[in-house]
Homo-oligomer: A and B are copies of this chain.
């Protein structure tokens, strides 16, 4: 079981909404909508994805990283390395 188990349904709901937003952008392009309006939707999807990512990361720290640190040893170091690399990818994306 992973850190996000308790909020799994809310993450799935958010992702389904994001799926709908992304499909909406595809339709805007297909029906030649104005560039600026499409860009506004892209920024909105970016923000929604960021919120999902930050939620997953918080839960990962609270559960997976915390359990590993409590266990101690190499598994703890590895989990923190992984979390730091994921944070860097998020900050840079």
Contact = CB atoms under 8 A, between A and B. Distances in A.
The binding surface of chain A is classed by DSSP as helix
What band does the interface of chain A fall in when counting residues whose beta carbon is under 8 Å from B?
35 or more
B46 A93 contact: yes
Contacts of A25: 15
Contacts of A32: 1-2, 5, 8
A18 B87 CA distance: 21
A26 B49 contact: no
Interface in A54-93: 54, 56-62, 64-66, 69-70, 72, 76-77, 80, 82-84, 86-93
Given A35-B60, A56-B35, A87-B54, A30 B12 contact: yes
